[in-house]
């Protein structure tokens, strides 16, 4: 498939696992999913996936339950999904997904990170034609017949199925998230992470030296409390 999920999957996943702020970010995703679609996981596929992602990252059950409870509380924060588009060094394209209860703070922080690390913010919508919004499920490797699995998932909206040394990737249109989530659960596949991701339509290769410059910006973005995910067109 040759696409870069977020930017360089292996290095990003290694950092993601080690981030000290991981649990708050996972809790925020659970809270937003519960507030948008209800607190019953059986009726809310996004919440089910957010909970499964949290469990896969060893988030304690008490933390998960607390995040769901906050979503239904009268004084729960009004957390909004926000995204920003920009360029990093050497023209690398970047989409930043945030969840924030203070958009004014978030946009100021994101702009500052771009300007201080060789990048620039673009007007939202500038990169729409460069990326596709997809439902992406990161699963444990599958030992069965991949062709048979592909045929079974097509009816649920599957567009691409890829297995590498680390995981099985299930990709579909963003509108098929719920159907694919249900189909994956029925098959008993083990979910590591799932969500709506921006995949570059035409990934670009950069030299190692260029990547070092680009990743200065990407690392700073990921360190921000409000940033949930960073996507680029890096191959």
pLDDT per residue over 150-174, tens digit each? Answer: 999 999 999 999 998 889 999 999 9
Please state at what angle helix 103-116 crosses helix 208-223, rounded to 10 degrees: 160
- Which residue range(s) make up the domain with 62? 4-72
* Confidence label for 75 from pLDDT (cuts 50, 70 and 90): low
221 and 108 within one domain = yes
182 and 159 within one domain = yes
Q: What is the pTM of this model?
A: 0.84
Helix (H) or strand (E) run with residue 46 in it: helix 45-56
Q: Is the separation of the CB atoms in 127 and 87 below 8 Å? A: no
The CATH number covering residue 48 comes to 1.10.10.200
* Residue whose C-alpha is closest to residue 96's, from 211, 233, 203, 231: 231
d(CA 140, CA 81): 28
In Å, what is the CA distance from 115 to each residue of 112, 125, 137, 151, 216? 5, 20, 33, 47, 12
Mean model confidence pLDDT for the chain = 89
If you compute the radius of gyration of the chain from its CA atoms, what whole number of angstroms results? 18
């Amino acid at each position: 498939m040759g696409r870069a999920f977020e930017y360089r999957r292996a290095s990003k996943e290694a950092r993601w696992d080690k981030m000290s702020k991981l649990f708050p970010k996972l809790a925020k995703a659970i809270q937003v999913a519960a507030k948008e679609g209800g607190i019953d996981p059986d009726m809310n596929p996004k919440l089910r996936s957010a909970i499964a992602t949290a469990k896969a990252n060893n988030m304690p059950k008490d933390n998960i339950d607390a995040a769901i409870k906050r979503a239904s509380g009268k004084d729960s924060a009004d957390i909004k999904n926000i995204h920003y588009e920009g360029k990093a060094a050497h023209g690398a394209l970047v989409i930043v997904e945030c969840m924030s209860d203070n958009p004014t703070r978030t946009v100021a922080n994101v702009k500052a990170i771009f300007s201080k690390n060789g990048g620039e913010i673009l007007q939202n919508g500038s990169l729409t034609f460069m990326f596709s919004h997809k439902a992406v499920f990161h699963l444990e490797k599958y030992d069965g017949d991949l062709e048979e699995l592909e045929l079974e998932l097509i009816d649920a909206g599957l567009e691409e199925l890829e297995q590498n040394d680390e995981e099985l990737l299930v990709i579909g249109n963003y509108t098929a998230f719920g159907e694919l989530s249900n189909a994956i659960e029925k098959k008993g596949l083990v979910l590591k992470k799932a969500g709506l991701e921006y995949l570059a339509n035409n990934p670009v290769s950069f030299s190692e030296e260029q990547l070092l410059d680009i990743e200065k910006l990407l690392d700073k973005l990921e360190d921000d409390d409000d940033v949930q995910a960073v996507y680029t067109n890096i191959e």
